[in-house]
Structure 1
Amino acid sequence: MESLTTIYFVRHAHSVYSTDELGRPLSEKGFADAKRVAKRMEKESVDIVVSSPYKRAMQTVEYTAEYFQVEIEAIEEFKERVLASGEVSDFDTAIEKVWTEETFAWDGGESNIIAQKRGVRALFHLLNQYENKNIVIGTHGNIMVIIMNYFSKEYDFRFWKNIEMPDIYRLTFKGNQLQAVQRLWGDKNG
């Protein structure tokens, strides 16, 4: 029997907007959805739960970690990509530009290629450290899709625009080779 490692990318649920990226909490709807995420994950077998250190990502996988009785390990590399050092005047234009030109970065921000290297390095570390395990990663929409884009260009700007908050994708790996991707959220799945 071949050994496979399963990654569950969990994009954080709705949060209360503030400029405090690190401490921004889930909204009431976000907490309700985090409970739905845990209910969906009960159908899976989870060994490890890691998360971006951002509060909204941690809170989204908190109920899942409780259910499986595991601690959440914060991993800096799964934090959201930094778009720019300050506010951007037109978010939609700014985000589309970094997706269109993967090496372009706004002042103080990360290009897609730089954010991807950070995220993929952390993912490969987990795949090597926890081979044959099932790992939940609480993370953010942009960095999640940027990491998925490393394996297939179908995970692009248009794909990112259509993911939900929260959302769950199961990625199956043999070693560091992606074997399959399945969405576990949405009307039929969530």
Structure 2
Amino acid sequence: MKNIYLVRHCKASGQAADAPLTEIGIAQAKQLVHFFSDKNIDSIISSPFERAHQTIHPLSAQLGIEITLDDRLMERVLIGEDHPDWYEMLRQTFDDLDLCYEGGESSRTAMARAISVVDEILSSRAQNTVIVSHGNLISLLLKHFDKRMGFKEWEALSNPDVYHLSFDNHSPSVKRIWTESSL
């Protein structure tokens, strides 16, 4: 059986690629070390965004496992420029996976790049992998495995958040394992 732990980054100072974690986010990242202490993690893959790899760096350092940065785990670009109706636009992309706004990528395209990372993990020797990414991309990845995942579930994600995907014969079980009491 293979286990993949999808981690949404800890609290960050913004949405830019170089936005670091806040003081609260740094404390949360340290708490993730304890959270994963009994999971036998043997592989860590992260979005190259600062807030993502800062989230998992304490665990990486504790375990002596190098973080593999992977551009396929970057947050999904909804639209090429800031838009006042981005929230409603995002909601629509959960209903129409092929909807693509100018300068952005469709849900289906973003989902495919995230799934390619999972497929590589499933064919690797790693047994217990942590993937660190961003809310929209993680929700799309989860939607691939559980069609019930949608806009409301994206809204309910926390920073951080952790989902456990356990694969037995490439058929996953999906479970949210992070709660505020996990802190």
Query: What is the match of residue 117 of structure 1?
Result: 112
- Contact 1:62 1:72 (8 Å CA) reproduced: yes
**Any conservation in 1 of the 2:94–2:107 contact (CA below 8 Å)?**
yes
Measured against aligned partners, the alpha-carbon deviations of 1:44-81 in whole angstroms (never above 9, x if no partner) come to 11001110111101011111111211010001111111
Cα distance in 1 between the residues matched to 2:58 and 2:72: 22
Q: Please state whether the residue corresponding to 2:58 is helix, strand or coil.
A: helix
Deviation at 1:91, TM superposition (A): 2.4
Please state how far the C-alpha of 1:177 moved relative to its aligned partner: 2.0
Task: Say yes or no: does 1:168 pair with 2:165.
Answer: no
Identity of aligned residues (%): 28
TM-score by length of structure 1 reads 0.91
Kept in 1, the 8 Å contact 2:145–2:174? The answer is no
Unpaired segments ≥5 residues, structure 2:
none
CA RMSD across the alignment: 1.3
- What is the count of residue pairs matched by the alignment? 183
Find runs of 4+ consecutive structure 1 residues off by over 4 angstroms. Answer: none
Structure-to-structure mapping, 1:16-165, within 5 angstroms: 16-17=13-14, 21-131=16-126, 133-165=127-159
- Match for 1:164: what amino acid? S
Structure 1 unaligned segments of length 5 or more: list them: none
Alignment match, 2:12: 15
SS of the equivalent of 1:114 reads helix
* 1-structure distance, mates of 2:59, 2:42: 11
The answer on 1:189 being equivalent to 2:182 is yes
Q: What per-residue deviation string (whole Å, max 9, x for no partner) do you get for residues 96-139 of structure 1?
A: 121121110111101111111111112101111235x1000111
Q: Secondary structure of 1:123's match?
A: helix
CA distance in 1, matches of 2:133, 2:146: 19
Q: Look up the match of 1:177.
A: 171
- Residues 124, 176 of structure 1: 8 Å contact kept: no
CA shift, 1:187, in A, is 3.0
Are the structure 2 counterparts of residues 36 and 83 from structure 1 closer, same or farther at C-alpha, using a change threshold of 3 Å?
same
Are the equivalent residues in 1 in contact too, given 2:41–2:130 (CA < 8 A)?
yes
